Structure 1
């Protein structure tokens, strides 16, 4: 049987490691580690890498650097301002990356029952420890089942109204490319988790995700392959955004709800 990101017992194997970081990205990762400590000090519980860099699949000058920071308290406005400055500084200094994504959470939120099968799973399975004690030690093991599908991406229907509003107002090439990249990634990942329990495995590779989706929905395969291409090479085409919010997105949201239900509401 294929490996498919699971161990011999059918549980997720944690993807990525610091050892897989390509030589081109080692300097920026080292700088991120140093600056996170300087910026947050004792406020920081732990820090993690995720995405293509720790998977060894990043493309110099094209890929972003993705970080998750767990604080000892819930993030305040000051913490978010610090994150923006930190991310901007790394992005401006290192040509090897195209943007920095920085997620900021309190450790209690990451370990909460409400986030057990969303942020908790994300940290335990898709994040690589960079600094501090690993919170994954306090989280369970996970399988690619319908509960995980529901709690990770079962909120696409809720996202679509905001997407439609942004699609109507986006006008500059920079805005259009940013939205096309973000929405295409979300659609491909949602398409993959829709079929994940049937496929019985995991991949973070967007091209492979689209191909797996196409095995179960051949009539939508071409659209998902095209979305995977946009996720890697964003476009400044308003027609692409319209297709996402008027066709692929609504269909995918309806199919997801029918098969897995909707994500459990979070308290405000």
Structure 2
């Protein structure tokens, strides 16, 4: 079964068009000759963004990510957030051309399936069709443990309430996405809608439904969530996920 693209057509709402155009212009001007292409994912390119609730998610593909200075990129973000306060935040992921082409089940998947090209030549078209398989699921989650550990540490160490809210929301989303990757063989599609992800997990995954409902509730509203309680449940969910991956890897190796 081959994965289809999440966003087939760009439908940016009028209030976000200038933001996207200025982001492209600023990045191209700041990093002349270094940018191969720029992509977006999420609600803005889908045309479903909500002012003061939706953020802007960009991905930059370049020859060498070290050429893109994060401080200069952060300055662009700060200027745009000041000019467009209805955007909650602006995130930018940077990857290399080699990563996209040589890691099709990781960066290739991200650019080809999740994102849509808004500037430059779409390198995702050069990525071979992505077939849903245990190998794909394992490759897709190569960095999941590292990401989860990083968010776990950040949440444990921060005393800032705003950052706690951001980490809990992000951690919940990351775990739900990880669980969803386990059932993509059953669904046949990659969802970027969190409620559809949650429902599919409940339909096809044997994890305790209360854990999934808790994570989803935290994703929606984490203002009153206790950090200690959240981390305990997050650890339980990740333990389930990690065991499922190990079983999948063992099964694949035995068949190989």
TM band (smaller chain): 0.7 to 0.9
Match runs of 1:37-186 below 5 Å: 37-76=28-67, 79-112=69-102, 115-186=103-174
**Counterpart-to-counterpart distance in 2, 1:232 and 1:30:** 30
Matched, 1:11 2:26: no
Check conservation: 1:196, 1:202, Cα contact below 8 A. Answer: yes
Matched, 1:250 2:250: no
Quote the offset at 1:18 in angstroms.
Answer: 5.8
Task: Give 3-state SS (helix, strand or coil) of 2:118's partner.
Answer: strand
Q: CA, structure 1 residues 240+22, in 2 after alignment: closer, same or farther (shift >3 Å)?
A: farther
Of 181-190 and 11-20, the range deviating more from structure 2: 11-20
**Counterpart-to-counterpart distance in 2, 1:108 and 1:194:** 27
Partner of 2:13: 22
**Counterpart-to-counterpart distance in 1, 2:32 and 2:131:** 35
Any unmatched runs of 5+ in structure 1? 1-9, 262-268
Q: CA, structure 1 residues 105+218, in 2 after alignment: closer, same or farther (shift >3 Å)?
A: closer
Partner of 1:193: 181
Check conservation: 1:157, 1:250, Cα contact below 8 A. Answer: no
- Cα-to-partner distance string for 1:165-215 (whole Å, 9 max, x where unaligned): 333312221121111111111001001001111222221111110100001
Of 192-201 and 156-165, the range deviating more from structure 2: 156-165
Quote the offset at 1:224 in angstroms.
Answer: 1.7
Partner of 1:264: none
Quote the offset at 1:230 in angstroms.
Answer: 2.8
Check conservation: 2:198, 2:212, Cα contact below 8 A. Answer: yes
* RMSD between aligned residues: 2.2
Partner of 2:201: 213
In the alignment of these two chains, the number of paired residues is: 249
Q: CA, structure 1 residues 226+58, in 2 after alignment: closer, same or farther (shift >3 Å)?
A: farther
Of 31-40 and 236-245, the range deviating more from structure 2: 236-245
Check conservation: 2:176, 2:212, Cα contact below 8 A. Answer: yes
Of 28-37 and 189-198, the range deviating more from structure 2: 28-37
**Counterpart-to-counterpart distance in 1, 2:239 and 2:131:** 27
Q: TM-score, normalised by structure 2?
A: 0.87
Partner of 1:228: 216
